[in-house]
């Protein structure tokens, strides 16, 4: 793809997952409804503040064993949409195997810059490392995220409390986004592109699995493949998993279900 020859409309379409998947709205609505049911069934540790801003909140779903691993799920939405509440169901795949799950919220663009969002994720992980044991989460942390959450996962891998990561359908090079509709709210600076693009950073030497759906937009497929190659060149551990026929939304089924490929992959990062 010669990015410089594309029209603005073509550049926007290259990253517009909602338009690329005809039933994306229905799939998202179903996920949000299922997550509401999970929150209603497990209300004991929701909306726990880790910082001063409205979205600086955790939802915790502790396992019976406090020493069990915990999957930290960072929601997607191109850093400017969605909330943690609509993704609770994604923890069910590993929770069926005795894990904990925890979902942090973060301030969305344009109310926060991307630098600010990354800082909030690190602050959230600081809080979980300090406060989690008293709330039933004392085991190793595996951070995971989808879409924008995949990008934040790649950066959060460097946090001292994180053991391993699973980045799903992430964005790992930010520069093309400055030429799309996404930058209207993100307002990326040159410094942010340089310092927050995982493809431009030295890989963290912890296990990081990278997954994408084979039916996703080429730009996202390319990001995942390039980031895995970048890490492999530095001998950083972690597999690349193309999920056959999955698109940007249906790939989440593989994390949600106990026998799903992504739920199994997350467990293998610790086992």
Distance CA 5, CA 182 (A): 19
> Which residues lie closer than 8 Å to 5 by C-beta, 6 or more apart?
none
- Residue pair 143/204 in contact by the 8 Å Cβ criterion: no
pLDDT in tens, 182-238: 999 999 999 999 999 999 999 999 999 999 999 999 999 999 999 999 999 999 999
Give me the pLDDT at residue 4, please: 72
pLDDT in tens, 12-60: 999 999 999 999 999 999 999 999 999 999 999 999 999 999 999 999 9
pLDDT in tens, 27-37: 999 999 999 99
Q: Is the pLDDT of residue 3 over 80?
A: no
Q: Choose among 170, 160, 166: nearest CA to 263.
A: 166
Q: Is the pLDDT of residue 1 over 70?
A: no
Topology of domain 3-270, CATH: Rossmann fold (3.40.50)
Q: Is the pLDDT of residue 168 over 70?
A: yes
Strand order in the sheet with 57-61: 48-49, 57-61, 100-104, 70-74, 141-146, 162-168, 208-213, 240-243
């Amino acid at each position: 793809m010669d990015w410089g020859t594309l029209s603005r409309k073509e550049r926007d379409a290259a990253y517009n997952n909602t338009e690329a998947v005809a039933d994306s709205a229905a799939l998202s609505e179903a996920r949000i409804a299922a997550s509401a049911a999970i929150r209603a069934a497990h209300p004991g540790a929701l909306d726990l503040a880790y910082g001063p801003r409205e979205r600086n909140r955790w939802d915790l779903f502790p396992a019976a064993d406090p020493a069990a691993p915990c999957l930290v799920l960072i929601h997607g939405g191109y850093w400017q949409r969605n909330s943690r509440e609509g993704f609770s169901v994604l923890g069910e795949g590993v929770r069926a195997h005795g894990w904990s799950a925890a979902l942090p919220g973060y301030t969305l663009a344009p109310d926060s810059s991307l630098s600010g969002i990354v800082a909030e994720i690190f602050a959230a992980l600081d809080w979980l490392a300090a406060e989690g044991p008293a709330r039933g989460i004392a085991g190793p942390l595996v951070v995971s995220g989808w879409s924008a959450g995949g990008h934040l996962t790649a950066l959060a891998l460097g946090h001292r409390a994180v053991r391993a990561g699973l980045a799903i359908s992430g964005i790992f090079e930010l520069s093309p986004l400055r030429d799309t509709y996404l930058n209207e709210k993100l307002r990326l600076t040159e410094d942010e592109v340089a310092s927050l693009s995982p493809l431009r950073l030295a890989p963290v030497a912890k296990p990081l699995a990278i997954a994408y759906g084979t039916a996703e937009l080429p730009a996202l497929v390319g990001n995942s493949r390039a980031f895995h190659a970048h890490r492999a060149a530095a001998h950083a551990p972690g597999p690349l998993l193309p999920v056959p026929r999955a698109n940007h939304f249906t790939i989440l089924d593989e994390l949600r279900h106990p026998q799903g490929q992504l739920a199994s992959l997350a467990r293998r990062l610790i086992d």
